[in-house]
A and B are shown apart, each in its own frame.
Chain A
């Protein structure tokens, strides 16, 4: 294929983009449902059912984006896949056990005998928390170039906490959108508390990445890049200001503006993600392996690309269908 020039250049780039896209979609979508799990202990029993009802029809599809992201890493950059996952062996195991616990708790908490409901609620919270913390820790270690030293572990612990707070923030924003009355008012309070964590977290990552890597420092703080990139942090600050203002007025009587926190939170996630993607390009293993060195054979990538081009729009289409079918405020889930 010479249609677009050398496939050894554009195929890895395409796949890196696709992979980045699935990670982004994953972080936003599973972010809100993990966040709902992290907020679980703060709610009353009946509110818990409503919180589950708001994510019940979606969580499985949300997690599938993780499977796609890890699948794309695996198929497009096999060497990087091995390097990254063996370096992150323990946090990956913690995350997987967390995902197992929370995934089955959805089902068990309503199907098991009533006296088991409490323990399953706890499993749902514990699983969500383990997953969020493990993902945050992995993010930190990845930013630190997959090195394990006391300093990087400390930074990892910090990102673990911040990502968990960020997830609970977007989870609270989702609940503001999907619930009403007392629970909605509670969610507004949770979101007000979470916003500080989000600010600190964004700040920590933005400061640490250029400090750790002179290369990233170069990419951001040289002319003209610094001017071209300026909108990124400026937009983020503007969004935070909007969030601040809206959260102080919510909940409104006619439920107007209930969508603003969620949309703003998603936009923040997207901006943060682009900042990171810009910092790390062209590396897939920071400072060690570029996407071009790690890519698999062009003919295999091509086969996948054809499938992706046809299937991805369909997936997006029926995902929209599902969100449309279950739009509006969450009501009690039932099989009828």
Chain B
């Protein structure tokens, strides 16, 4: 394998691992603030109990996000020097603002949020929780501005092969930014909603019927049920925006080869790029035309428009985009079904206690459905941009570093091993914490203190 392919796999693996944890922390920060405020308002211990459990998950996810994020920020230099050399004048300030306005805020107040509850006044602790949540959202904002700009670049001019900023407002509010930001924030909300619902359902199945667990189960289900229709709407608008700016990506998502009207919505197919046709198609007649153009005979762009006269293909690889898009949408539909069924049952049978066992059982694997949909969504959008790194400005090939392939292979192998181990540890610990909490044991095992002299507590100042 060559260094380009290896570097792409490495970047893909690193960012895929990274995004898992920000998706949790972005929304979980706000949920923790909600728990904290409910406790401040009602004085009800059940909310504090919920806060105590989920703040642990937050701390763990945050650490995973930080360490993989640091890896990300080095990747640009080690593997993609061409990226910064070409568009550094635009990407640089955006990344710098992310560090300055978001990372420090989160990192510093995280310490107070996690360990300061008994050291600082209640308002400062609540404020710290708010600032951490705000910081994660700010960092999502800046990084998504950059990523959106890579898909729909605006507000710049090329001088001697280097992009120079001409209009920062146009760069920040580039055409796809509002859609991508909204879609991603909602994705984060949904990931957390189903995680909370799934873990709470797991605890409830183990016989944990405390007030705290009923609160969090309800919070998760309601949050999911409210957000999923909004996400579907936002996703639809996002797709229309992409149709305008990156038609070749939409053509790949739909698996549509020829530009024409009355295009069906394919539920399943196997795109064959060599023969340039689909096999085993199952579709809803006129569906894609209706969704994308709001007419049964609306004309939808096809992939064959993106083949140059000399046979060079300028559209993305079809099958990965096609399938990952279906995985995302399919997961979204499963979320809709499950959360609305749960709400209907809660309404008819009087609250979370009325939820039948099979439904609770179904919620446990769905705890990670947000991850699946988010990853599939990012694969759709990022692979759908290929062969470009910055649409129309810089190809992925032109940005890759001149590092020997065996070196990249070595680092890639090491990352993959570490990531696999960490992912297993993370999921394992999540369920371990849930099992302990369900049994009413304090989540931190008491560690026998050997040298008693140092175990003496000095009172907090």
Partners in one complex: yes
Q: Which residues of A contact B (CB under 8 A)?
A: 44-47, 49-50, 56-58, 60-61, 63-64, 66-68, 70-76, 78-79, 81-86, 89-90, 92-93, 96-97, 99-101, 103-104, 106-108, 110-114, 117, 179-183, 296-297, 299-300, 303-304, 307-308, 311-312, 315, 318-319, 321-322, 325-329, 331-336
In the complex, B68 has a CB within 8 A of chain A: yes
Distance, CA A97 to CA B82, complexed state (A): 24
Contact B93 A60 (CB under 8 A): no
In the complex, B269 has a CB within 8 A of chain A: no
Interfacial chain A residues near B117, Cβ < 8 Å: 335-336
Closest to A183 in B: B454
| Known pairs A99-B70, A307-B101, A328-B458; A75 contacts B93 (CB<8 A) | yes
| Known pairs A66-B70, A179-B454; A300 contacts B99 (CB<8 A) | no
Q: When each residue 48-79 of chain B gets 1 if its CB lies under 8 Å from chain A and 0 otherwise, what string results? A: 00001001100110111011111101101110
| Nearest CB of B to A20, in Å | 16
In the complex, B329 has a CB within 8 A of chain A: no
* With A61-B104, A68-B103 already in contact, 4 other A-B pairs whose C-beta atoms are closer than 8 Å: A96-B71, A103-B67, A104-B60, A307-B101
Contact B418 A300 (CB under 8 A): no
Contact A61 B107 (CB under 8 A): yes
Contact A89 B78 (CB under 8 A): yes
Distance, CA A104 to CA B117, complexed state (A): 22
Which listed residue, B70, B85, B425, B447, touches A82 by the CB 8 Å rule? B85
| Nearest CB of A to B229, in Å | 35
Interfacial chain A residues near B402, Cβ < 8 Å: 86
Which segment of B281-289, B365-373, B407-415 sits at the interface?
Answer: B407-415
Contact A64 B103 (CB under 8 A): yes
Contact A333 B115 (CB under 8 A): yes
Pairs A-B, 9 closest by C-beta atoms: A82-B81, A75-B92, A85-B77, A57-B111, A78-B88, A103-B67, A93-B411, A61-B107, A78-B84
In the complex, B342 has a CB within 8 A of chain A: no
Closest to A75 in B: B92
Contact A64 B99 (CB under 8 A): yes
| Nearest CB of B to A239, in Å | 29
Q: Which residues of B contact A (CB under 8 A)?
A: 52, 55-56, 59-60, 62-64, 66-71, 73-74, 76-78, 81-82, 84-85, 88-93, 95-97, 99-101, 103-105, 107-112, 114-120, 162, 164-165, 168, 401-403, 407, 410-411, 414-415, 418, 422, 425, 428-429, 432-433, 443-445, 447, 449-451, 453-458, 460-461
Which listed residue, A70, A96, A111, A296, touches B89 by the CB 8 Å rule? A296
Contact B422 A75 (CB under 8 A): no
What are some 8 contacts across the A-B interface (CB < 8 A)? A67-B103, A75-B92, A75-B93, A81-B76, A86-B401, A96-B71, A111-B444, A300-B164
Interfacial chain A residues near B92, Cβ < 8 Å: 74-76, 78, 296, 300, 304
Interfacial chain B residues near A63, Cβ < 8 Å: 66, 70, 107
Interfacial chain B residues near A61, Cβ < 8 Å: 104, 107-108, 110-111
Contact A60 B429 (CB under 8 A): no
Distance, CA A331 to CA B89, complexed state (A): 46
Interfacial chain A residues near B63, Cβ < 8 Å: 60, 103-104, 106-107
| Known pairs A67-B73, A81-B81, A300-B165; A107 contacts B60 (CB<8 A) | yes
Interfacial chain A residues near B88, Cβ < 8 Å: 74-75, 78, 296, 300
Interfacial chain B residues near A67, Cβ < 8 Å: 69-70, 73, 99, 103
Contact A112 B425 (CB under 8 A): yes
Contact B450 A45 (CB under 8 A): yes
Contact B418 A97 (CB under 8 A): yes
Q: Kindly name the residue among B89, B101, B109, B112 whose own CB sees the greatest number of chain A CB atoms within 10 A.
A: B89
Distance, CA A96 to CA B75, complexed state (A): 10
Interfacial chain A residues near B454, Cβ < 8 Å: 46-47, 50, 179-183
Contact A112 B422 (CB under 8 A): no
Which listed residue, B95, B111, B433, touches A111 by the CB 8 Å rule? B433
Contact B447 A45 (CB under 8 A): yes
Distance, CA A322 to CA B114, complexed state (A): 12
Interfacial chain B residues near A99, Cβ < 8 Å: 67, 70-71
Distance, CA A110 to CA B68, complexed state (A): 20
Interfacial chain A residues near B460, Cβ < 8 Å: 328, 331
Which listed residue, A60, A85, A182, A333, touches B66 by the CB 8 Å rule? A60
| Nearest CB of B to A308, in Å | 6
Distance, CA A200 to CA B228, complexed state (A): 62
Closest to A80 in B: B77
Distance, CA A333 to CA B118, complexed state (A): 11
Contact A331 B458 (CB under 8 A): yes
| Nearest CB of B to A113, in Å | 6
Contact A111 B429 (CB under 8 A): yes
Closest to A329 in B: B458
Which listed residue, A100, A107, A332, touches B71 by the CB 8 Å rule? A100
Interfacial chain A residues near B422, Cβ < 8 Å: 100, 104
Interfacial chain A residues near B403, Cβ < 8 Å: 86, 89
Contact A82 B77 (CB under 8 A): yes
Contact B67 A46 (CB under 8 A): no
Q: Kindly name the residue among B77, B414, B425 whose own CB sees the greatest number of chain A CB atoms within 10 A.
A: B77
Distance, CA A162 to CA B238, complexed state (A): 54
Interfacial chain B residues near A181, Cβ < 8 Å: 453-454, 456
Contact B116 A104 (CB under 8 A): no
Q: Kindly name the residue among A90, A304, A325, A335 whose own CB sees the greatest number of chain B CB atoms within 10 A.
A: A335
Contact A327 B101 (CB under 8 A): no
Distance, CA A78 to CA B93, complexed state (A): 12
Distance, CA A180 to CA B453, complexed state (A): 9
| Nearest CB of B to A68, in Å | 5
| Nearest CB of B to A291, in Å | 15
Interfacial chain B residues near A85, Cβ < 8 Å: 74, 77-78, 81
Contact A96 B74 (CB under 8 A): yes
Distance, CA A331 to CA B108, complexed state (A): 19
Q: Kindly name the residue among A45, A49, A74, A304 whose own CB sees the greatest number of chain B CB atoms within 10 A.
A: A74
| Known pairs A112-B429, A181-B454, A296-B88; A326 contacts B111 (CB<8 A) | yes
Interfacial chain A residues near B447, Cβ < 8 Å: 45-46, 49, 114, 117
| Known pairs A71-B95, A319-B108; A90 contacts B411 (CB<8 A) | yes
| Known pairs A103-B63, A335-B56; A312 contacts B100 (CB<8 A) | yes
Q: Kindly name the residue among B62, B70, B453 whose own CB sees the greatest number of chain A CB atoms within 10 A.
A: B70
Which listed residue, A64, A71, A79, A333, touches B96 by the CB 8 Å rule? A71
Interfacial chain A residues near B432, Cβ < 8 Å: 111-113
Interfacial chain A residues near B77, Cβ < 8 Å: 70, 73-74, 81-82, 84-86
Closest to B401 in A: A86
Q: Kindly name the residue among A100, A110, A311, A326 whose own CB sees the greatest number of chain B CB atoms within 10 A.
A: A100
Closest to A310 in B: B100
Distance, CA A72 to CA B85, complexed state (A): 14
Distance, CA A145 to CA B276, complexed state (A): 52
Distance, CA A103 to CA B66, complexed state (A): 8
Closest to A114 in B: B445
